[in-house]
A and B are shown apart, each in its own frame.
Chain A
Amino acid sequence: MAESAIRDYATGRGFHRQTLERWLAWEAADQESLQEIAVSLKISENHLRDMLDWLEEISLRDVTKIHEILCRPAVLSIKTDPRLGRADKLKRIKEQLRRWRFPRLAAVEERIQLKIQALKLPAEIRLSVPPGLEGGRLRVEFSAGSVAELEELTKRLNAAATTTWTTEIFDLLSGQTTEKVQGQS
């Protein structure tokens, strides 16, 4: 039942043969659980490939079935949340799967975000870190509409640079505190 529906879905969206074969190599219950999400959220091939990767790898690492992962309460609550549109549901389900697939990376990223928020910088200053934290650098962007505003923003940045929050952000980026995160996860 699921197999023909999956074939139809993949063909209709022009999926690559390897993607389809990989999906169909799963057990029937696993195939079906992903098919239900794929159809309802109209998942494109690139997103689906990410999900195939992460689900297979979580399943292998945690010795669990893929359909069991997709039936966890965290996924179900996103799927059934009436406030969320299709794109938001897909985004959140992928974020959740990524958190399960990369628990320590996600924990470090979340800790960095918390510290960035704690700096309480104005909206004109944006701090961000690279995807996957690769490169280990903090990106700082800001824009000003006048000399006075620029002076004010640089003052705020200077003040932020000397806080322990900022020191801890760089510690996290350079693996100084990965051990602590590992201990907590």
Chain B
Amino acid sequence: MANTNIHITTTINGQPYEFLAPSYMSLLDALREIVGLTGTKEGCLDGNCGACTVNVDGRIVDSCLVLAAEIDGCEVETVEGMASSEGLHPLQKAFLEEAALQCGICTPGFLVAAKGLLDNEPNPSEHRIRHWLAGNLCRCTGYDKIVKAVQKVSSEG
């Protein structure tokens, strides 16, 4: 195997991180295996399910299709960064109150994706919510309660 390790300096959930990752390693694997944040999930490894969604420099991305090497110097946000010492993010609270998760494996991806929407568009229509979240697959809920949870947060301002 190639011996090239890439030196990566980044900020993850507001914390500085510095580590070596193999040149061919995805950001998803780097988060889960090297940084130790397993909240971001593996679903398909080909950008079709969104379970691995994280936020890089303000844009939501499928971390399975980003090389760890590519986020050197970038700011990364994962689900683990959504809650603060003051409590859960409004989206996390809404997901619980609206029962917008069943097995929960897609939930981190949906939370990061939904946050990416509401951070830029605080009052999206239902169609816009569904369109924005179309890159996140859920097999348990039929999306109904997920959409309702996002609508709840957007209506509460």
Pairing of A with B: no
* Interface of B toward A, CB cutoff 8 Å: none
